[in-house]
């Protein structure tokens, strides 16, 4: 096994989209915790995320297709996933997709989302929460009062 293999595994995983937010990859979201020559370690975002199994299957398929059938997938709960693990690139992809990325510092942040979200369309901060839960467990529903568009906000977690 060589360093080159872990790079190639990483490149294969970078092509695996999140099944519910296909604009970002499992690497962008911070779901992949470690890449080793014969093992990939992943962690679920939310405990009840229904995409967890689909993500593992998609990663399995990507590894198999890239010639890494021997590489095992392990799941770990600890330390628990945090939105701080979403990469800068991932945050930009979310914004471009129309989802306000979560503020940094999830562990210290208040759940009340006191800082208004930035509208991913017009960048206004004149926004309000419509619903604490949105189309997936990881998102809340917001509305921009400047451009009147509704949008999803990735919850700080």
Partner 1 sequence: MDALAIYALRLGDDALILGQRLSEWCGHAPALEVDLSLANMALDQVGQATHFLGLAGVLEGKGRDADALAFHRDVMDFTNCLLVEQPNGDFAQTIARQFLYAHYQHLLFERMATVNDERFAAIAAKAVKETAYHAQLASDWVIRLGDGTDESRARMIAGLDWMWRFVDEMFAMDDIDEAALKAGAGIDKTALRAAWDERVNAALAEATLERPASRRPVLGGRAGRHSEHLGHLLTHMQFLQRAYPGATW
Interacting residue with partner 1 among 38, 135, 146, 148 (CB under 8 A): 135
Pick 8 or 33: Cβ nearer partner 1: 33
User: What is the token pair recorded at 38?
Assistant: 């014969």
Interacting residue with partner 1 among 134, 142, 153, 154 (CB under 8 A): 134
Residues 114-133 as x/- pattern, contact with partner 1 by CB under 8 A: ----------------xxxx
Q: Are 51 and 20 in contact (CB under 8 A)?
A: yes
Give the count of beta carbons closer than 10 Å to the beta carbon of residue 70. 11
Give the torsion through C-alpha atoms of 83, 85, 87, 93, to 10 deg: -30
Q: Does 57 bind partner 1 (CB under 8 A)?
A: no
Q: Does 153 bind partner 1 (CB under 8 A)?
A: no
Interacting residue with partner 1 among 10, 34, 47, 54 (CB under 8 A): 47
User: What is the token pair recorded at 72?
Assistant: 């095992």
Give the torsion through C-alpha atoms of 21, 27, 32, 37, to 10 deg: 140
User: What is the token pair recorded at 87?
Assistant: 């990469």
Pick 68 or 151: Cβ nearer partner 1: 151
CA distance 6 to 157: 29
CB of 84 to partner 1, least distance (A): 12
Residues 58-97 that bind partner 1 (CB under 8 A): 77-81
Binding interface with partner 1 (CB under 8 A)? 44, 46-50, 77-81, 111-112, 130-137, 141, 155, 157
């Amino acid at each position: 096994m060589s360093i080159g293999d872990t790079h190639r595994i990483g490149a294969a995983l970078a092509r695996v989209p999140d099944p519910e937010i296909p604009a970002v990859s499992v690497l962008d979201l911070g779901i992949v915790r470690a890449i080793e020559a014969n093992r990939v370690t992943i962690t679920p975002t939310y405990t009840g995320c229904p995409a967890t199994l689909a993500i593992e299957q998609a990663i399995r398929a990507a590894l198999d297709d890239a010639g890494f059938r021997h590489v095992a997938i392990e799941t770990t709960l600890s330390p628990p996933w945090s939105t701080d693990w979403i990469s800068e690139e991932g945050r930009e992809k979310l914004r471009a997709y129309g989802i306000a990325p979560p503020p940094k510092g999830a562990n210290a942040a208040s759940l009340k989302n006191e800082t208004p979200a930035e509208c991913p369309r017009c960048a206004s901060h004149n926004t309000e929460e419509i619903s604490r839960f949105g189309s997936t467990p990881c998102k809340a529903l917001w509305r921009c009062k400047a451009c009147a568009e509704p949008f999803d906000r990735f919850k700080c977690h």
